[in-house]
């Protein structure tokens, strides 16, 4: 009888409150008692109408949990707070609308109190197995921006990415798929939100958002006002959710200066850091965490964010208390992976930092490679319980036409003449310190098979060629010029043996997948394959 009553109540509420839009939240009042000092209240229940206890709810600063009746209360500054969000727990579906996850309700401007409700739908099947596409910096600009169409246009490249992700998603019929856009979804033009949303609408899976520096209103006088266009078009900027055994946290780690010129600092504002601490209060220490931001919170080429970013040491100490943390970010337009434990940094031995290359290629040029030689693409993160594996997936489309690139394309090999110093170079873009040695074998008469190549820091020749083409084009407006001191962190080289005219480079990634690339420098042909 109790189950029937709850179901009936839920159906009546849904009919009265959702207006047929299937959003999780509702702006209509929900009949729960008031609590002194609280101006935000609501309830959370499942698809049978059963109240859910212990669900974390937040206004973007404060957090609380539902009681045994599924009720919650918050004391919120409604002049600043614009959302109420629920941390969807593992075992429940993350609903979406037109490709955007719906786990929040908007607080109307000028409200003095707010009441809402959330209905969570139980997940069907194995909730511990899923895949996440990590996508960096589409950075869409208008077609009339002349400097944005040297090679291709960012909108065309973004549409290629959407087609490619849908194609890959269609092969994953045994698990749910999600995406996370790691910021700089557009480039300082609010008119581009419609373009971004129209692309997202075509996706066959929901894609979460992270705000980047170029997603802010650069003319806004404060950091709080600068996020308003993003909020209006995508949603809130700081939130969390559970998938399987993992706790995901998405953060705004761009602190705008309000200088009218788009100036900003990396790190967490005091308010965002407070919210992070409030969120983590409800996360067991034995939990694994996936933290997503625009600028990397852990590990950058040449510096460590935790030592220089606002509140860096504080958030690093807080997250170091958990079982294991993977930090995912864009912003730098390159691939870079840092395993703290392999650097001898015991203070952060449970943390790894992953920077994802730009999805639409080299900035301004929109070329097929990024500035570190990584082909434009995204990371595919496969999760099964606490087993997490990933690989870089190059985009397989060029203006809607297949370019033949697939998951086997994980390195590029250069001949002894390409750099002019007699060395063979290999760029292994997803490499990290837990990979095996990059092994070289050539056809020289006295060659030794499987010689380890030495890791060095230098530029990528393919990217230099893109810049050279740009610079030679009459009337070129591209702003990204080649910098000889560009230091790729995943570049390897070796001297070929005497008399060699061809070689094969092999490497095994940290998950046991072996890759091979062959080069005949007499014929200048390459072959890249997974073994």
List, in sequence order, every beta strand (DSSP E) within 261-376: 264-266, 288-292, 324-329, 336-339, 351-355
The alpha helices in 101-152, defined as continuous H runs, are: none
Residue 297 gets which letter from DSSP?
S
- What pLDDT is attached to residue 529? 44
| Same domain? 12 vs 157 | no
Q: In 418-434, which positions are buried (b, 16+ CB within 10 angstroms) versus exposed (e)?
A: bbeeebbbbbbbbbbee
Same domain, yes or no: 284 and 377: yes
Same domain? For 92 and 199 the reply is no
The DSSP annotation for 476-524 comes to --------TT--EEEEEEEPPPTT--EEEEEEE-TTS-EEEEEEETTTT
Please, are residues 13 and 58 in contact by the beta-carbon 8 Å criterion?
Answer: no
Q: What local confidence, expressed as pLDDT, does residue 9 receive?
A: 43
Listed residue (388, 407, 307) closest to 347, CA to CA: 307
- Greatest Cα pair distance, the chain, in angstroms, is 86
Report the b/e string of 203-219 with b at 16+ CB within 10 A: bebbbbbbbbbbbbbbe
- 225-235, pLDDT tens digit by residue? 999 999 999 99
Percent of the chain residues past pLDDT 90, beyond the cut: 79
Whether residues 219 and 307 fall in one domain = yes
pLDDT for the residue numbered 489 = 95
- 370 and 223 within one domain: yes
Which of 120, 154, 185 is a domain's end point?
A: 120
CA end-to-end distance (rounded Å), the chain: 60
Distance CA 24, CA 27 (A): 10
- Kindly state whether residues 358 and 504 are assigned to the same domain: no
Does residue 78 form part of some domain? yes
Q: Work out the pLDDT band at 525, boundaries 50, 70, 90.
A: low
- Residue 16, pLDDT > 60, answer no
* Domain range for 439: 412-530
Lowest mean pLDDT among 76-85, 165-174, 448-457, 462-471: 462-471
Secondary structure (H, E, C), 186-207: ECCCCCHHHHHHHHHHCCCCCE
Question: Is 219 a member of any domain?
Answer: yes
Residue 360 lies in a domain: yes
Quick one: 438 and 394 in the same domain? Answer: no
H/E run at residue 101: strand 100-101
Question: Could you tell me the pTM of the whole model?
Answer: 0.92
pLDDT value of residue 479: 62
The domain boundary, picked from 120, 139, 161, lies at: 120
Hey, which bits of 275-319 come out as E strands? Answer: 288-292
500: closest CA among 441, 414, 427, 412? 441
Q: What are 105-129's pLDDT values in tens digits?
A: 999 999 999 999 999 999 888 889 9
Q: Classify residue 114: in a domain, yes or no.
A: yes
Tens of pLDDT, residue by residue over 139-150, are: 999 988 777 777
11 pLDDT more than 50: no
Q: Report the candidate in 378, 373, 390, 325 with the shortest Cα–Cα distance to residue 351.
A: 325
What is the per-residue DSSP string for 358-403? BTT-STTT--SB-TTSPBSEEEEEEEETTEEEEEEEE--EETTEE-
Whether the pLDDT of residue 318 is over 70: the answer is yes
* Strand, helix or coil for residue 307: helix
Average pLDDT over residues 470-494: 79
At residue 499, the pLDDT reads: 96
Task: List CB contacts of 19: < 8 A, sequence separation 6 or more.
Answer: none
Domain end call among 402, 425, 457: 402
Residue 392 shares a structural domain with residue 430: no
Clarify whether residues 153 and 93 are in a common domain.
no
User: What pLDDT, in 10s, does the model give residues 266-311?
Assistant: 999 999 999 999 999 999 999 999 999 999 999 999 889 999 999 9
Please report the pLDDT score of residue 115 as a whole number. Answer: 96
Q: What is the CATH number of the domain that holds 282?
A: 3.60.21.10
Weakest-pLDDT range from 29-33, 166-170, 291-295, 455-459: 29-33
Q: How far apart (Å, rounded) are the C-alpha atoms in residues 491 and 512?
A: 20
Whether 20 and 47 share a structural domain: yes
Whether 407 maps to a domain, the answer reads no
- Rounded to 10 degrees, the C-alpha dihedral 98/100/103/105 comes to -70
421 and 391 assigned to the same domain = no
Note the pLDDT tens digit of each residue in 423-454.
999 999 999 999 999 999 999 999 999 999 99
Number of domains comprising the chain? 3
| Claim to verify: residue 337 and residue 454 sit in the same structural domain | no
- Whether 84 maps to a domain, the answer reads yes
The domain that holds 83 is classified in CATH as 2.60.40.1120
pLDDT (tens digit, 9 = 90+) per residue, 339-353? 999 977 788 999 999
Q: Which residues contact 79 (CB under 8 A, 6 or more apart)?
A: none
């Amino acid at each position: 009888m109790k189950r029937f009553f709850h179901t009936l109540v839920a159906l009546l509420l849904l009919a009265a409150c959702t207006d047929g839009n299937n959003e999780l939240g509702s702006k209509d009042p929900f009949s729960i008692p008031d609590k002194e000092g609280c101006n935000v209240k609501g309830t959370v229940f499942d698809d049978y109408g059963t109240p859910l206890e212990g669900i974390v709810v937040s206004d973007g600063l404060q957090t609380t949990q539902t009681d045994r009746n599924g009720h919650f209360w918050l004391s919120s500054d409604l002049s600043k707070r614009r959302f109420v969000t629920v941390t969807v727990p593992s075992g429940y579906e993350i609903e979406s609308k037109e490709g955007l996850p719906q786990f929040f309700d908007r607080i109307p401007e000028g409200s003095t109190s707010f009441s809402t409700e959330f209905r969570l739908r139980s997940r069907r099947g194995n909730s511990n197995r899923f895949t996440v596409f990590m996508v960096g910096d589409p950075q869409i600009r208008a077609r009339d921006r002349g400097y944005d169409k040297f090679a291709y246009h960012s909108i065309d490249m973004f549409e290629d990415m959407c087609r490619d992700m849908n194609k890959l998603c269609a092969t994953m019929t045994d698990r749910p798929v999600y995406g996370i856009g790691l910021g700089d979804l557009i480039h300082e033009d609010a008119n581009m939100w419609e373009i971004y949303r129209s692309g997202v609408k075509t996706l066959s899976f929901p894609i979460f958002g992270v705000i980047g520096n170029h997603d802010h209103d650069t003319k806004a006088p404060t950091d709080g006002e600068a996020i308003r266009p993003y909020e209006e078009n995508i949603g809130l900027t700081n939130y969390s959710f559970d998938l399987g055994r993992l706790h995901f946290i998405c953060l705004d780690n761009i602190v705008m200066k309000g200088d009218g010129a788009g100036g900003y600092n990396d790190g967490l504002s005091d308010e965002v850091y407070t919210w992070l601490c409030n969120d983590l209060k409800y996360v067991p220490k034995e939990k694994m965490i996936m933290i997503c931001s625009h600028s990397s919170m852990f590990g950058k080429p040449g510096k460590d964010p935790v030592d220089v970013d606002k509140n860096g040491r504080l958030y690093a100490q807080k997250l170091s208390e958990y079982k294991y943390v993977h930090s995912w970010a864009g912003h730098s337009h390159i691939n870079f992976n840092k395993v703290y434990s392999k650097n001898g940094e015991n203070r952060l031995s449970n943390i790894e930092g992953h920077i994802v290359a730009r999805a639409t290629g080299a900035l301004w040029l929109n070329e097929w490679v990024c500035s570190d030689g990584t082909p434009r693409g995204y990371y595919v993160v496969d999760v099964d319980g606490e087993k997490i594996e990933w690989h870089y997936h190059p985009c397989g489309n060029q203006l809607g036409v297949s370019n033949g690139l697939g998951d086997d394309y994980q390195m590029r090999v250069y001949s002894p003449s390409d750099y002019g110093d007699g060395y063979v170079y290999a760029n292994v873009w997803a490499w990290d310190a837990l990979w095996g040695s990059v092994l070289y074998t050539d056809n020289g008469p006295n060659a030794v098979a499987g010689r380890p190549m030495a890791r060095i820091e230098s530029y990528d020749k393919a990217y230099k060629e893109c810049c050279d083409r740009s610079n030679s084009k009459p009337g070129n407006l591209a702003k990204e010029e080649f910098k000889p001191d560009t230091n790729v962190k995943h570049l390897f080289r070796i001297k070929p043996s005497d008399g060699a005219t061809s070689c094969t480079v092999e490497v095994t990634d940290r998950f046991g997948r072996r890759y091979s690339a062959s080069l005949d420098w007499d014929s200048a042909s390459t072959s890249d394959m997974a073994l």
